Structure 1
């Protein structure tokens, strides 16, 4: 999203004498530090990398005049609020704050009011409003038949550019693999992917090289990709506002689009919450080969009960998978005449390479005492700041 906003700056500001830069994690910071070396008028940043650069004294925020928080409800959520709380004291007290979001839950509004001073609220549309030109529908289906239903829908040539939303990273990988085996070009994007892999997947999707992009909610916020014909909620989000952001990836800038939600018996409470939040009743489509009347007629659980039931099923499936893998490993060890103690979670994580945090990109490397010279040279670099103009 930071990259996309910076590209918009390049377009809209092409005839303005504004210096701007973008900084984000998951890539080397050398070029980003160089871009900041003479100061900028506008800086687009993700909070993690911003704090990294500030801690290394590669930028200063004491002359910032305007502080913009995009996707404010998400940025004030549990995953990012600590970073925002660290950034705010670095800014001058006299500044203009602008918070933007398509949705703003009541508890987040209360949190925002503690940051803002006498704020004015501007609403272009009522909160959680979906675009008028999105044709929304829901299909009731058993969980075990979701993939078959997805493949069935993708046989329709009108599904030209399709964004499929999942709740879990491993589920996204599995769906991509299955689609490719069915001859459907697909790519995945989620938090465990490197920044480079995410960018490649997005570009291939934008350019039409890939027909289906399977994503977690990392792609739900703000991404502007032309011509998405369908958004499919393979799994419904347990937060209703997330649904609004997801389907908002289609029908951009007045275009038309379609959204389809797959719903199991356990997910009915999520569907109910979505309809209540958006103040809309979503059309039920029964004319499909995997329609589940049982799921449609199932009683609505509370959201908490639904989450517990879904998590229990996921844990059971993961335990079954581990047991199968362990059995296969035992057999292999017996055949080779050697054995190995099972890996701990930490060993498995280390073997899989760098992990991603909620901000995206690999986790930051922590310097050890064996690297004092390198660390000292980092902090002796010139301190750069914003070059603000009247």
Structure 2
């Protein structure tokens, strides 16, 4: 299957070819023909699947070939893409500008955290395509600096993330400003929870539904390790682990903005070069922190899940989950930033008793075990109760390891692939003891902007040491 078979216009095919894109991803194969036919679309797609091109190419083809209604007054936007974060909005806007190289489509990307002046200027001149975060778009609607009555295509990118962030009231206010007739709606979401389905029922017309993304794709080159610890000693344990080699670039995930700030301040005072990145930081602060991290001026970056969406580093050796995510799929998103291009990566999780349930959910999603080991001097006062199914598998007699398998292949480049998204029972071990096992499969695909994922599958098990 090639892009020529999907019905795309020559001006898009030319731009794709010049960027080296030849074969569509599965989500693109299914979504593009349906979107070109004018159907509303409910698409299951995670980061790393090429979803931006899946909705962006049909949208650009519509803008480039369908006549624009002529009316009085300034040019109104014809297409609106809503995205949950500034980083994602910018990424989508940049991708679409690349695909529309041979089209003249005025566009704008608007988000909070920066001044309104430049955004007001570009909206005053008029645009056909608008990429926006819901909060800042509401600001412009209240100032009457944007008129959404001419929207022909609406895209909700990462709809589940927007709902998690509390944007539902803003989305409903925005929807109320859009025309109901002759509007095509494309909704992309990693999950189809009830709130997403209800949202779709309210504002979509007989949407076609597609779901092609595996939910547990993680690189086989990543090792997963869990350190049980009392919640009150997590900070000390993190410092201990980071101090073992302060030169290793490490991405640390916290659950809250305030918690990330406190943790970054603690590490900085302890002599670790650290920066924090989260939703309360300005765009300039985020960009500076990320640039410092990529350049090695900062060795530890503390981030929330939302803020980390725009982080794209090819060879990040280690990710530490200071707090486990509330949603198990977010674990896959987090660790997908390490172990790229076939390089090894380490995913370390500091787990307190109140997070045991979250760890079990992650293990069930991945269908692979975790290496659980106490860190000498940081053993929890009370052994963690994992419940009926803990995250380590039974050991094989004699400590034998099952053989690993590997495979590979080099398919053609695919546009807009982002970072990959993505234990059962066992007591915590004595100091030095461990459980080791892994089970997983993944493809080796070329992913522009997100590196490659190396294929392989296998299972290994080892006897715990007494």
Give the Cα–Cα distance (whole angstroms) in 1 for the partners of residues 344 and 189 of structure 2: 22
Cα contact 1:138–1:284 (8 A) shared by 2: yes
Deviations 1:133-181 (A, max 9, x none): 5433322122233223323332455974321111233322222122223
Describe how 1:44-63 pairs up with structure 2 within 5 A: 44-63=131-150
- After TM superposition, give the deviation of residue 12 of structure 1 in Å: 4.5
Give the Cα–Cα distance (whole angstroms) in 2 for the partners of residues 199 and 242 of structure 1: 22
- After TM superposition, give the deviation of residue 296 of structure 1 in Å: 5.0
Name 2:375's counterpart in structure 1.
288
- After TM superposition, give the deviation of residue 45 of structure 1 in Å: 0.6
Distance change (3 Å), C-alpha of 1:77 and 1:265: closer
Name 1:189's counterpart in structure 2.
277
Cα contact 1:77–1:108 (8 A) shared by 2: no
Residue 4 (str. 1) matches residue 91 (str. 2): yes
TM-score by length of 2: 0.57
Cα contact 1:104–1:127 (8 A) shared by 2: no
Describe how 1:371-390 pairs up with structure 2 within 5 A: none
Cα contact 2:120–2:145 (8 A) shared by 1: yes
Q: Match for 2:202 among 91, 110, 114?
A: 114
Deviations 1:63-111 (A, max 9, x none): 2222111111022346100011111122222222222233343443343
Name 2:84's counterpart in structure 1.
none
Higher relative contact order (CA 8 A, sep 6+): 1
TM-score by length of 1: 0.67
- After TM superposition, give the deviation of residue 213 of structure 1 in Å: 0.9
Q: Match for 1:35 among 122, 129, 140?
A: 122
Name 1:82's counterpart in structure 2.
169
Deviations 1:205-238 (A, max 9, x none): 2333222111123324454343332221101123
Describe how 1:125-144 pairs up with structure 2 within 5 A: 125-127=213-215, 129-131=217-219, 133-144=221-232
Name 1:208's counterpart in structure 2.
296
- After TM superposition, give the deviation of residue 269 of structure 1 in Å: 1.2
Name 2:312's counterpart in structure 1.
224
Name 1:170's counterpart in structure 2.
258
Name 1:66's counterpart in structure 2.
153
Distance change (3 Å), C-alpha of 1:22 and 1:165: same
Number of residues of Structure 1 aligned to a counterpart in Structure 2? 300
SS of equivalent to 1:50: helix
- After TM superposition, give the deviation of residue 22 of structure 1 in Å: 0.8
Give the Cα–Cα distance (whole angstroms) in 2 for the partners of residues 15 and 209 of structure 1: 39
Deviations 1:100-130 (A, max 9, x none): 2333434433433433222222223234544
Distance change (3 Å), C-alpha of 1:241 and 1:269: same
Distance change (3 Å), C-alpha of 1:16 and 1:253: farther
Give the Cα–Cα distance (whole angstroms) in 2 for the partners of residues 21 and 56 of structure 1: 17
Cα contact 2:278–2:303 (8 A) shared by 1: yes
Deviations 1:40-73 (A, max 9, x none): 2322111111121122221112222221111110
Name 1:180's counterpart in structure 2.
268
Name 1:315's counterpart in structure 2.
none
Cα contact 1:138–1:261 (8 A) shared by 2: yes
Give the Cα–Cα distance (whole angstroms) in 1 for the partners of residues 293 and 172 of structure 2: 35
Give the Cα–Cα distance (whole angstroms) in 2 for the partners of residues 270 and 185 of structure 1: 30
Distance change (3 Å), C-alpha of 1:225 and 1:106: farther
Greater helix content: 1
Give the Cα–Cα distance (whole angstroms) in 1 for the partners of residues 127 and 352 of structure 2: 50
Give the Cα–Cα distance (whole angstroms) in 2 for the partners of residues 132 and 176 of structure 1: 30
Residue 269 (str. 1) matches residue 336 (str. 2): no
Name 2:82's counterpart in structure 1.
none
Cα contact 2:363–2:369 (8 A) shared by 1: yes
